[in-house]
Amino acid sequence: MVDVKAKLQEVFQLQKMHQHVIKITCAEERIEKLQKLKVEILAQAPAIIEALQQDLGKPAFEVASSEMLSVISEIDYYAENLKQWMEPVEVPSRNEGAQAKIISEPKGQCLIYSAWNYPFMLLFLPLIPAIGAGNVCILKPSEMAPATSSLSVKIINKVFDESEVAVFEGGVDVATALLELPFNHIFFTGSTHVGREIMQAAGKHLASVTLELGGKCPVIIDEQVDLEKIVPRIASGKYTNAGQVCLAPDHVYVKENQLEEFVRLVGEYIQRSYFENGELTKTDLSKIVNERNLQRLEGLLEDAISKGANVRYGGEIEDRRFYPTVLTDVSLDAKIMQEEIFGPILPVLTYTDLEDVINQINARPKPLGLYIFSEDQSVVNSLLSQTSSGGATVNDVLRHMLEPNLPFGGVNESGIGRYTGIFGFKEFSHERGVLYQTPVGSNPLETFAHAPYKGKLEMLMQRMK
């Protein structure tokens, strides 16, 4: 039987020696590797779809549109821009005659943990900037999506030598063993609870971290908007992947006079999207990942009902599929309003004063996303200026993550660090400041700072006025 810790140590040392070779690769060499990865992903497309259907019952369209397209698009974006990003950036120097430049260099040895809800995308998406920035990497896929994990190993081994990129499957024992190694940077996607453990472990080696976590992403609807136009955007964002999305709308705030129309429109969306002749269309709704998470959602629903919530749609469970659900009259003391739902249950709350909504948002940890639906710029500005979140989308949900020119990530309990586009390249790079001083003797002020100092203090104080 293979000694996992010994193998980890072996590969870690192999990559430690090889990182300096990878560091000096040019943009064309790194792009070539990413393009090779793209070719292999496309070749394995049917197998990727099958693996994700096996692990999560995920609809084939969702696999292609969210898991695969995100990765392919990011590779294409790097192919277009990486050479420019790698160029040293000259900045103004306040040292007379000198030049100042910022040079991006790889952080070195990186560790990437992926999550189970998007087990393919969340493994490969951070790998792209890691490779683009010139790092060596060890990947740890989620053991809760075994078919996708196994296929990911096959793809990685086909494209990369283990001296550059290696994959280790396994459970908590492997994840913990990896944290004992002195990586330069750790990238983790998952829960806030585990994120804290990752950060503590990284502190032992003074490794930098990127933590992609989550939180209770609220939706705030201004009463002037057209509900018929916006409800499909909200409902689609909520029920995609059965709500198992870190950026999914967690709960919605509507004005009292909008409540019934909003609930009706969400119900109509659920019926036409997930049902046919009164029967759930299982091919269009992902499963809850396992029984433990299914029981957690059942517990949240039961607790909410016990505290006065009304189930307006859904609530049933079939073949580990939790029907898209809408709740009203939800108590703020209910567990479902205290923790991230991460499932297809949508609490709909009412408000009369926007300040009350702002206060409720600010009373919770800062969310990963904030969603505002309003045509009134003063309302938008008020919500953005008086709250904080990792990112925000106005008049839609989730979309800010798909914009490569925007940084994506959380803040405080919803995460640390940024990625996608150039922000991912920067996240996996060390920006090294380099000053090119003038030749010795060419600067008449050079010896001013040298001892002896007699008579110089007065001159120095005069310069500071």
Q: Mind telling me the catalytic residues? A: 212, 246
Amino acid (1-letter code) at residue 206: L
- Cα(239)–Cα(118) distance, integer angstroms: 14
Gap between the Cα atoms of 392 and 390, Å rounded: 7
- The length of the chain in residues reads 465
- HSE of 349 in the Cβ direction (CA atoms, 13 Å)? 24
Alpha carbon distance 398, 401 (integer Å): 6
- What is residue 22's three-state secondary structure? helix
C-alpha distance from residue 431 to each of 183, 192, 427 (Å): 18, 28, 10
Pick from 161, 191, 65, 196: which is nearest to 120 by CA? 65
Pairing of β 185-189 and β 208-212: parallel
For 221, the token pair is: 């609807």
Place of tokens 């809760």: 144
Computed on alpha carbons and rounded to an integer, the radius of gyration of the chain in Å comes to 26
Q: Is the dihedral of CA 112, 198, 410, 340 positive or negative?
A: positive
CA 40 vs. chain centroid, Å, equals: 24
- Give me the DSSP letters along 71-114: HHHHHHHHHHHHHHHHS-EEE--SSTT-EEEEEEEE--EEEEE-
Contacts of 222 by beta carbon, 8 Å cutoff, 6+ apart: 372, 373, 374, 375, 376, 379
Give the CB-side neighbour count of residue 429, counting CA atoms within 13 A.
Answer: 26
First-to-last C-alpha distance (Å) of the chain: 73
